[in-house]
Amino acid sequence: SALQSGDYIVSVLPSTPTTRGLLSNGALKAASTEKGGLCPVFINVGRGDVIDEKCLLEALDKKFISGAILDVFVEEPLPTNSGLWSRPDVIVSPHVSGLTQASDVPKVFLSNYQRYVENDRSTSELKFLVDWKKGY
């Protein structure tokens, strides 16, 4: 299992019907030393609903993972009464892992507009398109 072979598990997953809860319900147990894993650090900078807080706390308590670095949560902002705040094995960042600079937007827009016009208004050559079927 991929969860057993690394020092870190990094989630950059989008929130889709197939990714919601993907690492909940004991999935991180595979990363535990008991199951042959390395007890890695879990990093989530994707979407918070890939794992719920209860399952994350359980994975930390049972040492399936050795720590967590979290930029996203199921509920944002993270409630003040969350058990994650008081844990020494958890680092909470202020949801800034994927900052977009306002100065970058016009350049991307103009580039896409030029591609759109040059390709007879086809969207096939555009960058950063959302795939509504995939959900991201």
HSE-up of 121 (CA within 13 Å, CB side)?
0
User: Catalytic one among 20, 87, 95, 121?
Assistant: 95
Answer yes or no: 121 catalytic: no
Rounded CA separation 43/100 (Å): 20
User: Catalytic one among 20, 47, 87, 121?
Assistant: 47
HSE-up of 37 (CA within 13 Å, CB side)?
24
Answer yes or no: 47 catalytic: yes
Q: Indicate which residues carry an active-site annotation.
A: 47, 95
